[in-house]
Each structure stands twice: as structure tokens, then as C-alpha cells.
């Protein structure tokens, strides 16, 4: 049994656990197992066992930018929270995949390092944020990443450089090839002034609070902005603010956000997304491209 494997290898795990606190939409579904590897070697051991025994698994970051649609996950959720070491050498930072972006942005301000202010309000971990090329305020992870170390589908360590990662708007080679698991990355930042860095992060936090429905569970921007346009503007002009399917609502504060006002399911959210796309296509003949990832 897989439980015996976890116990024999001193792997921290939980059984039949709700994933509600592990996704930012707060969708309440259960997973058969969730494991928390302590380091890279333990992660490799887990992956090898799961692959050899044909057990399905999902590597989950902070659970932002995803929509869980299954009723029950009959497999193993792998959480990399414990892979969170940070090594700062001058203007270069080596950071493990489980490090939380806002905490990293705040921590490096103590070293007068600038370049990650844009990420101070992105509720993601480094690994997933690099894979999706997370960004805000016209900057993204591609602008600071110099190398990424992954575990490839053959369970070998492999290093990617920016040219290999094929970064594009809210995507990369890693997002399109999910068998590659980020374990650490190197970021190159610039020298700055701590007070100015903190002031900029505080200003952007105020702007987020004023313009985004952070008081409700959500997963950030639902759609990519079309060229020379804004998804929120198009949705709002279709008079869809506050439209809902069960407890999944289009925010009346920002139309490119879907919020969970109670017991929304992943299927409610996906149905709402489909409805939005249909209405925007009818009115503007624009195909809204989903920024979030649907997990079935």
C-alpha cells in the first residue's frame, strides 16, 4: 500500500483531505492523499514510486490560478511548500519552487534589491509562477529569470535557460509541458533603495485592494487581456457584472474576476467562464482566452 511507502520513507502525508485551503477559490473537494516532501531527494523518491506503480499525481503550488473541477481526486497531491530555501548572492537569488512570491518580494527588499515589486501581490509560489509567466504592471517572471532547474519526465535534473523556456504572455514551455517540475530558479535583480521599493509595493497593494475583490475567494484574472484591449472592459460592457451561476459570481468590482460567495464548485466556475466567452464573442467577435488552468 502507498501508505506503507509513505511511512517507511518518513514522508509527511494526509489521507482523504479536503483541498479547500489549498486552492484560492476555496473549492471544497477531497483528495485521496496529499504529501509534503521535505527536499528534492524525497520528491524524487515519491515521483519514482508513483510512476512505477502508475499512481496519478498532481503537483500543486499555492492553488492560485487553477480551477478544480473533479468531485474527488483519487490520487496523490504533491505540495512543495517545504522546498523554500533562498540563497542571495549579490544581485542573484537562487530560490526553491515552494517559496511564496509575496514573502520573497518583501524579504529581498531588506537587501535593497529591486525587480520583484510587481509580484508582491501575486499569491503564487515561484515554481508555478514561472511556469505560467505570472506578471503584473507590465512586468513578468520572464524579465527576471536567468535559469530554472526542473525534474524532467525521466526523473533527471535538467537546467533551462530563458531561450529554452519559450516565455510568452502568461505561458511558457513549462506550462505546456507539465511533466517538467520546477524545483528551483535563479533570478537576477537590480540594486535599489529599500524605502522606495517598499513604498512601491504598498502603493500597488492599495491599488489592488481598491480595484480587485480580494475580500472573496478568487483565483486572480480569469482571462488574458486581448491585444489592445482589456478582458474586464469587454465583460463589463456585456453587462455581466454580478451575473452568477449558483455561488460563482462575476465580481461587481472587477469584471475579469470570478469570486466564490459560498459553495461554488469548479463546474459552476467553468460554466460561468463558458457563458462569459459566449457573450463576449457574440458582442465583440473576440475569443477570450482563459488564463486560469482547469484541472479535471
Catalytic residue list: 170, 221, 291
Listing DSSP states for 211-230 in one string gives: HS-TTS-B-S-SBPPPTTS-
145 and 172 Cβ atoms separated by less than 8 Å: no
User: Is the Cα dihedral 164, 76, 98, 143 positive or negative?
Assistant: positive
Residue 159 phi/psi, 5-degree rounding, is: -105, 130
162 and 133 Cβ atoms separated by less than 8 Å: no
257 and 240 Cβ atoms separated by less than 8 Å: no
Q: Which three cell numbers stand for residue 201?
A: 509595493
Listing DSSP states for 22-43 in one string gives: GSTT----EEEEEE--SSHHHH
Q: How do strand 258-260 and strand 248-250 relate by DSSP bridges?
A: antiparallel
Query: At 279, is the secondary structure helix, strand, or coil?
Result: helix
86 and 107 Cβ atoms separated by less than 8 Å: yes
Report how far residue 80's alpha carbon sits from residue 37's, in angstroms, rounded to the nearest whole number. 6
Report how far residue 220's alpha carbon sits from residue 183's, in angstroms, rounded to the nearest whole number. 24
Amino acid at each position: 500500500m502507498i501508505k506503507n511507502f509513505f511511512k517507511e520513507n518518513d514522508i509527511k502525508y494526509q489521507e482523504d483531505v479536503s483541498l479547500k485551503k489549498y486552492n484560492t477559490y476555496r473549492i471544497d473537494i477531497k483528495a485521496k492523499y496529499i504529501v509534503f516532501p521535505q527536499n528534492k531527494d524525497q520528491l524524487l523518491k515519491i515521483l519514482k514510486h508513483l510512476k512505477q506503480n502508475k499512481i496519478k499525481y498532481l503537483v500543486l503550488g499555492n492553488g492560485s490560478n487553477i480551477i478544480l473541477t473533479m468531485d474527488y481526486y483519487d490520487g496523490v497531491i504533491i505540495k512543495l511548500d517545504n522546498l523554500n530555501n533562498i540563497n542571495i548572492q549579490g544581485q542573484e537569488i537562487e530560490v526553491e519552487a515552494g517559496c511564496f512570491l509575496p514573502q520573497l518580494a518583501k524579504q529581498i527588499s531588506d537587501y535593497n534589491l529591486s525587480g520583484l515589486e510587481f509580484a508582491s501581490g501575486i499569491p503564487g509560489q515561484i515554481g508555478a509562477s514561472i511556469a505560467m509567466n505570472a506578471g503584473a504592471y507590465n512586468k513578468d517572471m520572464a524579465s527576471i529569470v536567468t535559469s530554472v532547474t526542473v525534474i524532467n519526465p525521466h526523473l533527471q535534473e535538467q537546467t533551462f535557460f530563458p531561450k529554452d523556456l519559450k516565455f510568452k504572455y502568461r505561458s511558457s514551455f513549462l506550462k505546456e509541458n507539465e511533466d517538467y517540475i520546477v524545483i528551483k530558479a535563479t533570478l537576477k535583480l537590480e540594486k535599489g533603495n529599500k524605502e522606495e521599493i517598499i513604498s512601491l509595493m504598498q502603493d500597488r497593494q492599495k491599488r489592488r485592494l481598491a480595484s480587485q475583490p480580494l475580500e472573496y475567494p478568487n483565483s486572480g484574472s480569469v482571462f488574458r487581456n486581448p491585444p489592445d484591449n482589456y478582458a474586464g472592459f469587454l465583460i463589463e460592457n456585456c453587462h455581466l457584472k454580478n451575473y452568477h451561476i449558483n455561488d460563482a459570481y462575476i465580481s461587481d468590482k472587477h469584471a475579469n474576476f470570478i469570486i466564490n460567495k459560498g459553495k461554488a464548485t469548479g463546474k459552476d466556475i467553468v460554466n460561468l467562464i463558458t457563458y462569459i466567452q459566449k457573450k463576449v464573442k457574440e458582442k465583440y467577435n473576440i475569443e477570450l482566452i482563459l488564463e486560469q488552468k482547469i484541472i479535471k
